[in-house]
Structure 1
Amino acid sequence: MEEKNLKVKDLVNIGVFSAIYMILSFIVMVPSMASPIIWLLWPAICGVVCGSIYMLLVAKVPKKGTALLVALINGIIYFAIGECTWTIILSFAIAGIVAEIARGALGYQTTESALVSCGILAAGFIGSPLPMWLFQDSYVNSIIKMGMDPAYVANMLKMISAGSLFGFTAAAFVGGLIGGFIGKVLFKKHFEKAGII
């Protein structure tokens, strides 16, 4: 019977791939700050760019806990380096739990499980701009004091609404699906070797 529990080798793979996933997302973040709309679409862009890395990881480690650990590692690192508020940990924790539920329901050895969880994890990046919706006044004051252009902030505020939160989160999920599909194509041999159909 195939071992379903995470082993040391699995944890090493998760750590390495999570680091690559985070680095790629950070590289995407830097130019995304040039425009308010691009920054709010950063989670979706991350999904497209980072999806392949996640797909390769779940092909190598198609086990329970993989998605949750990737989510928690990224959320904690982003918070620790001061790029995001505590909301990034919350959003990634929720995304990781939901991704694990989806993987459990769809089966850890299925392509559908990998793709759906890839989209869900990408939605976890919404925790970065989330303060704009949750505690807008205090957050806006803090980022302006930190040196952000008030005109830039004003343009961003025009796009903040309950509907846009749903829209940007949905865009992130779709971006993750696209990135996951790209990864499926790029790493088809790894999926076949892992028995993921």
Structure 2
Amino acid sequence: MELHEILKGSPIIAAVKDYDGMRKALSCDSEVFFILFGTICDIGDIVDEVKAAGKIVFVHLDLIEGLAGKDVAVDFLLKTTKLDGIISTKPALLKYARTKGLLTVQRFFLLDSIAAANVDRQFATSKPDMVEVLPGLMTSAIAGIAREHPDTPVIAGGLIKTKEDVMNALNAGAAAVSSTNHDVWFM
């Protein structure tokens, strides 16, 4: 099944930031997991545990302790894990990961109008499979990016806490929401 279809059927992405959260999330219906923690010593075990539960796994390369923002980090993850894709704020890493057959999520922090103006430029460089917009409560920004890039799923992430937050993001054009909030995983 294609990722677009999976997100339609399961639009809540479990973004996990520690072992306890990961183990709790394994019992939710989320089919896609964002791994936001780990070290080069344990990332293989973390990915294996989530993959064993039949989940699609994206590793946030920028947050794995001991990895540098270089192509060799992508090669390392491919060699030592069974991940499906990576998340990063770095367009060059995402572009390289795509050449290696990985799915990619470009994460954008829309802090101001300058950051928002850079989205199209960075998007053109990395050509990610999905983009994640933080904070996820910025529905007008989500709507604009979804409109500008209709073939690329937009994920709303960050500060999503209620069913209303989830529905607002989805109604604005997000294909899914990612959240570290355990309550959101079980909505």
Higher RCO (C-alpha 8 Å, min separation 6): 1
Query: Shorter-normalised TM-score: what interval?
Result: under 0.3
> Whose Rg is larger?
1
Higher helix share: 1
Higher strand share: 2
Q: TM-score, normalised by structure 2?
A: 0.24
